[in-house]
């Protein structure tokens, strides 16, 4: 105890030495002594607990791990201080590798079964025992599925009196999803893309995210889609069109309340003048006769191809009997 006390007093007094050269000598002696002690300690044999990195090798093009694989294994090891220090400072340089030949049939590995492989790969230290009793795994087949992308045109928010006047194109038109077979099998055959914009009054061309999938194990080959279509302003027009009777009885046929009927339709503003009376044909078929109220239904059987939402203003008319 007295010896330790003397050394401590000498060390403290050394910090108050007036000459700088003497102070440097003291520091050098201290560093040299510490270095020799450290080097001597590393040449001794020790036992310690080591968290060593592991890597499991399997056919990841055909199988996928559905739970995180163990990335470290706890070992009780013995060896020279140099070797243990190197394994502790640079553990990731050479992780332990274990091959899994049949992933779907491998749900766990007992720690004791890994001992020969670990001993073979860590030759410069001794493995006393493995602290992890069991390592657990969960694998599934890796599969793909192509899913079509769709737009529900009825849910597109257009400005008042605007209509879509071109096909709706999506680029890409489909996306391939890859992941575990159990999850991929639950995916639908179609995914509908929602357009966030409303009151669209000009040609649409936007790139939108495809964020249908929320599971990190499923990956798409594309995560964005470009949506394009054209819109034009429409106006509502009315034409008074002659009505033709069809299949009416030859003897004592009933008559229509009027020989003409108003037909309403929507047409692009610039095409409003193109619609002509002779482009429309309206019939009243006796096959639609309702004896309870003596009515027949009017149908538009011919119309121009550039008009939309064509219908009689009054679809049911009551027949007159003489």
Which of 179, 203, 229 lies at the terminal end of a domain, its last residue?
229
Instruction: Tell me the pLDDT band of 318, cut-offs 50, 70 and 90.
Output: very high
Residues 49 and 125 in one domain: yes
Total structural domains in the chain? Answer: 4
d(CA 43, CA 28): 23
Single out the residue of 196, 120, 113 nearest to residue 151, CA to CA. Answer: 196
H helix and E strand count, the chain: 5, 21
d(CA 50, CA 78): 10
Which of 102, 137, 172 lies at the terminal end of a domain, its last residue?
137
| Per-position DSSP letters for 66-99, written without gaps between them | SSPPP-EEEEEEEEEHHHHHHHHHSGGGS-EEEE
Residues 54 and 94 in one domain: yes
d(CA 74, CA 50): 6
Residues 49 and 129 in one domain: yes
pLDDT digits (tens, 9 = 90+) for 64-105: 999 999 988 887 777 654 555 555 555 556 788 888 999 999
- Residue 59 is inside which H or E element, if any? none
The residue segments making up the domain with residue 66 are 45-137
Residue 131 main-chain phi, psi, to 5 deg: -75, -30
The CATH number of the domain holding residue 240 is: 2.170.120.30
Residues 244 and 203 in one domain: no
pLDDT digits (tens, 9 = 90+) for 113-163: 888 887 787 767 777 778 888 889 999 999 999 999 999 888 899 999 998
The residues near 98 (Cβ < 8 Å, ≥ 6 apart) are 54, 55, 56, 57, 109, 114, 117
Residues 59 and 132 in one domain: yes
| Mean of pLDDT over the chain | 82
Residues 214 and 279 in one domain: no
The model's pTM: 0.67
pLDDT digits (tens, 9 = 90+) for 261-293: 999 999 998 898 888 889 999 999 999 999 899
């Amino acid at each position: 105890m007295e010896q330790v006390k003397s050394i401590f007093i000498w060390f403290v007094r050394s910090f108050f030495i007036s000459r700088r050269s003497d102070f440097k000598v003291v520091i050098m002696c201290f560093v040299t002594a510490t270095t020799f002690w450290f080097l001597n300690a590393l040449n001794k044999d020790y036992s310690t607990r080591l968290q060593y990195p592991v890597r499991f090798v399997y056919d990841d093009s055909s199988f996928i791990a559905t739970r995180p694989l163990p990335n470290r294994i706890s070992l009780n090891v013995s060896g020279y201080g140099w070797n243990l220090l190197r394994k502790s400072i640079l553990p990731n340089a050479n992780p332990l590798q274990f091959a899994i030949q049949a992933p779907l049939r491998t749900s766990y590995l007992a720690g004791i079964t890994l001992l020969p492989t670990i001993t073979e790969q860590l030759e410069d230290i001794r493995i006393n025992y493995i602290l992890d009793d069991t390592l657990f795994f969960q694998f599934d087949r890796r599969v793909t599925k192509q899913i079509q992308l769709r737009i529900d045109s009825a849910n597109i928010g257009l400005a008042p009196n605007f209509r879509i006047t071109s096909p709706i194109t999506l680029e890409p038109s489909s996306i391939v999803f890859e992941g575990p077979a159990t999850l991929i099998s639950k995916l639908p055959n179609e995914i509908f893309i929602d357009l966030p914009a409303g009151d669209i009054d000009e040609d649409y061309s936007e790139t939108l995210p495809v964020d249908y999938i929320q599971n990190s194990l499923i990956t798409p080959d594309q995560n964005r889609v470009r949506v394009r279509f054209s819109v034009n302003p429409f106006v509502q027009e009315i034409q008074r069109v002659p009505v033709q009777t069809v299949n009416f009885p030859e003897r004592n046929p009933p008559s229509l309340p009027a020989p003409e009927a108003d037909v309403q339709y929507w047409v692009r503003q610039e095409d409003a003048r193109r619609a002509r009376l002779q482009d429309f044909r309206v019939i009243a078929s006796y096959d639609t006769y309702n004896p309870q109220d003596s009515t027949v239904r009017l149908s538009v059987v011919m119309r121009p191809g550039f008009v939309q939402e064509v219908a009689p203003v009054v679809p049911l008319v009551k027949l007159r009997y003489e």
